[in-house]
Amino acid sequence: MRKGRRLAIDVGDARIGVASCDPDGILATPVETVPGRDVPAAQRRLKQLVEEYEPIEVVVGLPRSLRGGEGPAAVKVRGFAGTLARMIAPVPVRLVDERMTTVTASQGLRAAGVRSKKGRSVVDQAAAVVILQQALESERVSGKPPGEGVEVVI
pLDDT digit string, tens, across residues 24-50: 999 999 999 999 899 999 999 999 999
CATH number, domain containing residue 125: 3.30.420.140
Does a structural domain hold residue 146? no
Q: Which residues form the domain of 82?
A: 6-140
Does a structural domain hold residue 93? yes
What pLDDT was estimated at residue 77?
94
For residues 65 and 76, give the distance between their C-alpha atoms in angstroms, rounded to a whole number: 14
Does a structural domain hold residue 150? no
What pLDDT was estimated at residue 120?
66
What pLDDT was estimated at residue 113?
59
Does a structural domain hold residue 149? no
What pLDDT was estimated at residue 102?
55
In the chain, which stretches have pLDDT less than 50?
A: none
Does a structural domain hold residue 1? no
Kindly report the pTM of this predicted structure.
0.84
Structural domains counted in the chain: 1
Sign of CA dihedral 63, 60, 135, 93: positive
What pLDDT was estimated at residue 118?
56
Does a structural domain hold residue 45? yes
Does a structural domain hold residue 103? yes
Does a structural domain hold residue 100? yes
For residues 149 and 92, give the distance between their C-alpha atoms in angstroms, rounded to a whole number: 7
